[in-house]
């Protein structure tokens, strides 16, 4: 197979852009408001403004804040504005990051290194997080050798505080809660968790990557938002993404700490490199100036009034979706989410959630499927107000179709998703998902699709897993007969 190579002669810029637009046609149709994640779009005018702000500092590099004093000013003011919004004080500090994952990675590493300094007897540090905590915590645990211990959820899809407390050991360096969590959109009982952290003298991180730039405005609009930010004693750090409901350009997030007592452990300094003394506030070396500048521009241009108007639209639209979904027999929203993020599942035996998802996908919707329990996930943006009625109409039709076709769960991608969600051998599932990743990032770069029509579109590893499950089922039935 011939590998793609840099062209011997440069192609015209017009042709390059045309090829890029052609490839873009394969992407999710977010401009039609048919996606409920990945893209946070405030308006076309706002996006054009962000592009202008970003391009002004396209060549800027936040690696050296002394060389690029403008970027240092932008970052400092973004952190101060975020701290003010989240009820920090004069001691609150932080940095910008490339996104929520980096913010969480930095928080975990900071608590680890702080424990190494103040509690050197801890050799195997652990952190207690809700079962619903973002997977970035597990990623951080793997990268930084911090064991992530998952606390179970209560019936309301918030973490069970008493169960979490029982998991704390002498090696625990911090606990975490979400505001809100991604799977169900529920805000964990942060006040109770923070009080627990204070009593045990450990860190308390609030993952507000989704809600950090929405919940403060939702609260001002009298939405039922429990206390979760720096007003709560015991909260020592908060991650909040600007490129979500802050409507900044990707990738932009913040990691904030109650004081420099924590942030100093995030910094990296090395003085013996032949290239000179090196200092870095976050994970990357080069830090793209455009995203830092565009984040500052977004906050300044939106203003409190803009964020309040946006939050009002988002909350109203989310309630319209949730009420409409709950009104469809056989469906219910999980828990009672207070803002814009939620999920729904089925309540009838035989009404397969993944089969409904397949029918919705066939009608042009980009569907985010979840497990434990099987559910469909939504994050609402202002543009979704335009398509709410169409979505609910298609959803009612999809439920009716699956109810009328009991075998629907054995077509499309539903069998593959159902298998991966319910297979008891989780290590085997992980092994097969890893094989899918290897296929996607191989030299051939083949992109697998979870489309089980005729069995031809299902990735080989998933088919192997399905066959294994079938063989296990045959074995169990044989043993019963014996």
Mean pLDDT of the region 224-252: 96
Rounded CA separation 257/237 (Å): 4
Query: How many CB atoms are located within 10 Å of the residue 190 CB?
Result: 26
- 8 Å CB contact between 69 and 201: no
Average pLDDT, the chain: 88
Summarised one tens digit per residue, pLDDT across range 363-406 is 999 999 998 899 999 999 999 999 999 999 999 999 999 999 88
Summarised one tens digit per residue, pLDDT across range 311-355 is 999 999 999 999 999 999 999 999 999 999 999 999 999 899 999
Closest Cα partner for 290 from 71, 58, 77?
58
pLDDT at 415 exceeding the cut of 80: no
Q: What pTM does this model have?
A: 0.86
- 8 Å CB contact between 238 and 229: yes
pLDDT at 454 exceeding the cut of 90: no
Rounded CA separation 312/124 (Å): 46
The number of residues in the chain equals: 482
Summarised one tens digit per residue, pLDDT across range 190-211 is 999 999 999 999 999 999 999 9
pLDDT at 257 exceeding the cut of 90: yes
pLDDT score at 424: 58
pLDDT at 480 exceeding the cut of 60: no
Give the least confident one: 138-142, 243-247, 398-402, 467-471: 467-471
9 to 5, 12, 39, 189, 403: CA distances (angstroms): 11, 9, 35, 60, 58
pLDDT score at 472: 47
Candidates 3.30.1540.10, 1.10.579.10, 3.30.70.260, 3.90.1150.10; CATH matching 303-408: 3.90.1150.10
pLDDT score at 444: 65
For the chain, the domains span: 53-299, 303-408, 414-481
CATH class of 53-299: alpha beta
Helices and strands (H, E) in the chain, number of each type? 15, 13
Give the contacts of 146 (CB within 8 A, at least 6 positions apart). Answer: 108, 111, 112, 125, 126, 127, 140, 173
pLDDT at 111 exceeding the cut of 90: yes
pLDDT score at 446: 66
* Long-range CB contacts (within 8 A, 24+) of 51-54: 51/249, 53/249, 53/290, 53/293, 53/294, 53/296, 53/297, 53/298, 54/249, 54/290, 54/291, 54/293, 54/294
Summarised one tens digit per residue, pLDDT across range 346-358 is 999 989 999 999 9
Three-state DSSP class for residue 153: strand
Tokens of 272: 């013996």
Rounded CA separation 90/343 (Å): 38
Rounded CA separation 366/390 (Å): 14
């Amino acid at each position: 197979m011939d590998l793609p190579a840099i062209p011997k002669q440069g192609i015209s810029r017009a042709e390059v852009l045309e090829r890029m637009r052609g490839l873009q046609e394969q992407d999710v149709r977010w401009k039609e408001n048919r996606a409920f994640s990945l893209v946070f779009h405030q308006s076309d005018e706002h996006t054009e403004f962000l592009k202008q702000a970003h391009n002004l500092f396209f060549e800027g590099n936040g690696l050296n804040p002394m060389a690029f004093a403008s970027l240092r000013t932008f970052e400092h003011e973004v952190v101060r504005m975020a701290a003010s919004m989240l009820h920090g004080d004069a001691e609150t500090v932080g940095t910008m990051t490339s996104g929520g994952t980096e913010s969480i990675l930095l928080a975990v590493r900071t608590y680890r290194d702080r424990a190494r300094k103040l509690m050197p007897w801890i050799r195997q540090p652990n952190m207690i997080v809700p079962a619903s905590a973002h997977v970035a915590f597990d990623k951080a645990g793997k990268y930084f050798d911090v064991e992530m211990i998952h606390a179970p959820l209560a019936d309301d899809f918030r973490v069970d505080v008493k169960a979490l407390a029982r998991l704390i050991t002498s090696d625990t360096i911090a606990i975490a809660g979400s505001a809100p969590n991604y799977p169900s959109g529920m805000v964990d009982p942060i006040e109770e968790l923070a009080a627990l952290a204070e009593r045990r003298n450990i860190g308390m991180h609030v993952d507000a990557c989704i809600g950090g730039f929405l919940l403060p405005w939702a609260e001002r609009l009298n939405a039922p938002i429990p206390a979760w930010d720096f007003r709560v004693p015991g909260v020592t750090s908060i991650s909040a993404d600007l490129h979500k409901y802050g409507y900044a350009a990707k990738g932009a997030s913040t990691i904030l700490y109650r004081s420099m007592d924590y942030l100093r452990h995030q910094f990296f300094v090395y003085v013996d490199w032949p290239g000179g003394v090196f200092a870095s506030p976050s994970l990357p070396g080069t830090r793209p100036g455009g995203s830092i500048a565009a984040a500052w521009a977004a906050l300044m241009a939106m203003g409190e009034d803009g964020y309040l108007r946006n939050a009002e639209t988002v909350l109203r639209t989310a309630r319209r979706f949730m009420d409409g979904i709950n009104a469809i027999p056989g469906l219910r929203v999980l828990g009672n989410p207070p803002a814009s993020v939620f999920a729904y599942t089925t309540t009838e035996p035989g009404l397969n959630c993944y089969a409904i998802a397949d029918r919705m996908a066939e009608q042009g919707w980009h569907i985010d499927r979840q497990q434990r329990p099987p559910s469909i996930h939504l994050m609402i943006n202002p543009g979704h107000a335009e398509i709410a009625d169409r979505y609910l109409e298609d959803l009612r039709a999809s439920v009716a179709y699956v109810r009328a076709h009991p075998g629907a769960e054995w077509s499309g991608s539903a069998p593959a998703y159902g298998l991966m969600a319910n297979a008891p051998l989780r290590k085997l599932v992980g092994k097969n998902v890893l094989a899918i990743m290897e296929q996607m990032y191989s030299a051939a770069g083949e992109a697998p699709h979870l489309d089980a029509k005729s069995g031809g579109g299902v990735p080989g590893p998933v088919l192997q897993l399905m066959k294994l499950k079938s063989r296990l089922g045959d074995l169990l039935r044989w043993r019963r007969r014996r």
